[in-house]
Amino acid sequence: MIQEVIGVGGMGSVYRARDLHFPNVVKLVAVKEMVNLAPDPLVRKTIIQNFEREANILATLTHPSIPSIYDYFSRDDRSYLVLEFINGKDLEAVISETEGFLPDEQVVAWAIELCDVLSFLHTHKPNPIIFRDMKPSNVMINQYGHIMLVDFGIAKHFQSGQKGTMIGTEGYSPPEQYRGEATPLADIYALGATLHHLLTRRDPRLEPPFSFDERPVRKINANISAEVEAVIERALQYDPKDRFPSAAEMKDALVAAARQTGLLSRMPAQSAPAIQANGIKPLWTFKCEDEIRGTPAYFDGNIYVGCYDNNLYALTAADGEFKWKYATDGGIVSRPAMFGGNVFIGSEDHRLHVVTARSGKVVWTHYTDGPVRSSPCIAEGHVFIGSDDGYLHAVNVTTGRPAWKFEAAGAIRSTPFVANELVYVGCESGEFYCVDFKGELKWRFRAKRAVTSSPLVSDQAVYFCSLDGILYALDHSNGWVLWRFRLGKGSIVSPVLADDLIFTGAADGFIYAVNVRTSKEVWRFRTEHQVSGSPVIYKDALYCGSVDGQLYCLEYRTGRLRWKFSTEGPITGTPLVYDDIVYVGSTDHQVYALLA
């Protein structure tokens, strides 16, 4: 007696039914119906014979994780299999009904049971049985919490070979299965894929085929131990030779990993960083009289850095020896620019100062009507610099004579960028401007909040962040928004580029890497406080300070931590890397030189 449809598959349906051979009790069974679509009578007959042969084999299997088969029959164009009814739900339903990740000890326990049943099938005599279709929807969890394998490869005979363009990939099957090879090792791969799905919640059918290595388990679900990840990784090798040779060995590896994690879970978690922070000794430090919020510059063996004690300092790069200091009448928060043997620096005393790099003698100064917190940008014989007076100033680099000034809608603290004979700069009002060399507006763009971040122009686009929490990519020739990437919070960080990645940070404490073409996040790294200073790229590493007081060195391709170094105050400036040495200022009043 058919009670209800409990599932519909590609080849037919599954019904819940009551077995009327036992009229006095309720015995529930599942009836699987398969429709024979082959048009040719001879093919149809072969299909039915194969079905019956396999049903016979399955009927002889006795294993707690394999449903019993009670009967089978064929009628007209349909064949039926009567099976044990499993009161439970399949793993696909389990995943979709769970919020967050499944507990790893639960998944590993199921995995061990799955290895057991696969091992049972693979060692079946006289011929091994290949399950062929391991995936979450074919694994049921019964009312006792144990796994049951359902939907044996028996249905495959009913699949007609369709011609033309078809859609669909298993997502769980290994590459060799598409060449028609089905071996025990294919089941091991599919088990690996199933476990990957269970632990990461990332459905492989929605990802490019065979791309598990692009999303390691622990990158998505940090709770998983390295040992368990390694087992799954090995099961998912492209080359069958590199996988576990048998389900039994995979089980052993899982048990070993589980034993280790079981021990680990009783200990306080959190793995230590690759290198301890206190393992790094600075080459030298230099103490100023107030906070260093700005960024150092290098020229001819010396480091130049502005300080909130109003001074611009010149130190020797090799040992941090004091050479000279030049006093302005306001705090210095910007980065010096070097040109023609002179140092250019803005100060909160409203002036742009130009002094000789050798001795710190003043060459000329340029007055604006507000504090200067923007850094100078030198190009085509001019210095471009913003001021809190709301103007972008263009000044002749040698004579100090003003060429023009461009009126913005608010203070300019962003550092101008010059490319393609155009000047790009952001503004505290949220406007972003592109101005030509005559000081005339080419185009403008409006972000929702201030653009303090300094722009970066490549042949693709102009990039900058805003306090509205977005990293923008605009067409540099007309200001069209190509893409927007949402950061967790507002940002004043100036992005940097390397290869096809753009890096920035935000007040949410993360350092981000984003693909410049696709605007997809490649990785993010959490610091312990806001990121206000900008990252720099040197060789294969990224260096970035955080308000948590630490300087981080990450592998820029992966975002993996190499080392970190603690200062005694928030770092709000950008490090400088020159000749394998990182120079960074901190609000603890000190400049540090560290080995990159």
Rule CB under 8 A: choose which of 142, 169, 429, 566 binds other proteins. Answer: 169
| Residue number, 105 or 181, with CB nearest to other proteins | 181
Residue 483 interacts with other proteins (CB under 8 A): yes or no: yes
Q: Which is nearer to other proteins, 326 or 483 (CB)?
A: 483
Report the residue number, 475 or 508, with the smaller CB distance to other proteins. Answer: 475
Q: Assess 168 for contact with other proteins (CB under 8 A).
A: yes
Contacting other proteins (CB under 8 A), which of 23, 41, 164, 268?
Answer: 164
Give the CA angle between residues 284, 288, 294 to the nearest 5°.
90
Beta bridge pairs of residue 378: 383
The amino acid at residue 356 is T
Is residue 208 a contact residue for other proteins (CB under 8 A)? yes
DSSP for 346-399?
Answer: E-TTSEEEEEETTT--EEEEEE-SS---SPPEEETTEEEEE-TTSEEEEEETTT
Q: Does 519 bind other proteins (CB under 8 A)?
A: yes
The sign of the dihedral angle between the CA atoms of 275, 279, 282, 285 is positive
CB of 474 to other proteins, least distance (A): 9
**Given the complex with other proteins, which of 73 and 480 has the nearer CB atom?**
480
3-class DSSP assignment, residue 178: helix
**Distance between CA atoms of 72 and 51, rounded to whole angstroms?**
9
* Contact status: 473 vs other proteins (CB under 8 A): yes
- The interface with other proteins within residues 399-458 (CB under 8 A) comprises 445-446
Task: Give the span between the Cα atoms of 357 and 352, in whole angstroms.
Answer: 15
Q: Is residue 166 involved in binding other proteins (CB under 8 A)?
A: yes
Residue 499 as a binder of other proteins (CB under 8 A): the answer is no
Window 541 to 570, contacts with other proteins (CB under 8 A) = none
460 binds other proteins (CB under 8 A): yes
We find the least distance from the C-beta atom of residue 360 to other proteins, in angstroms, to be 44
Q: Does 8 bind other proteins (CB under 8 A)?
A: no
CB 289, min distance to other proteins, A: 46
Query: Could you say whether residue 459 binds other proteins (CB under 8 A)?
Result: yes
Pairing of strands 431-436, 422-426: antiparallel
User: Is there binding between residue 162 and other proteins (CB under 8 A)?
Assistant: yes
Which residue in the set 88, 153, 209, 569 belongs to the binding site for other proteins (CB under 8 A)?
Answer: 209
Interface residue with other proteins, options 87, 276, 518, 558 (CB under 8 A): 518
Interatomic CA distance for residues 112 and 255, integer angstroms:
7
**Of 372 and 473, which CB lies nearer to other proteins in the complex structure?**
473
| CA dist., res. 260 & res. 256, Å (int) | 6
Q: Residue 236 Cβ, how far from other proteins at the closest point, in Å?
A: 12
Q: Give the separation between CA 547 and CA 573, rounded to whole angstroms.
A: 10
Q: Supply 96's token pair.
A: 């979709």
* 178 touching other proteins, by CB under 8 A: yes
# residues contacting other proteins (CB under 8 A): 35
Three-state DSSP at 325 gives strand
Distance CA 342, CA 344 (A): 7
Q: Is residue 481 a contact residue for other proteins (CB under 8 A)? A: yes
10 Å CB burial of residue 440 (0-12, 13-18, 19+) is exposed
Three-class HEC string of 484-501: EEECCCCCCCCCEEECCE
Q: Which is nearer to other proteins, 181 or 407 (CB)?
A: 181
Confirm if 497 and 463 have CB atoms less than 8 A apart: yes
Nearer to other proteins, 181 or 568 (CB): 181
Smallest gap from residue 473 Cβ to other proteins (A): 7
Asked if 206 interacts with other proteins (CB under 8 A), we say yes
- Which of 92, 349, 475, 548 binds other proteins (CB under 8 A)? It is 475
**Which of 139, 255, 113 is closest to 198 using CA atoms?**
139
Residue 175 lies near other proteins (rule: CB under 8 A): yes
Should residue 210 be labelled a site residue for other proteins when binding is judged by CB under 8 A? yes
The 259-278 site mask, x for binding other proteins (CB under 8 A), equals --------------------
Instruction: Find, among 429, 343, 419, the residue nearest to 386 by Cα.
Output: 429
Gap between the Cα atoms of 357 and 349, Å rounded: 20
| Contacting residues toward other proteins, per CB under 8 A | 162-169, 175-176, 178, 205-206, 208-210, 238, 445-446, 459-461, 473, 475, 477-478, 480-484, 515, 517-519
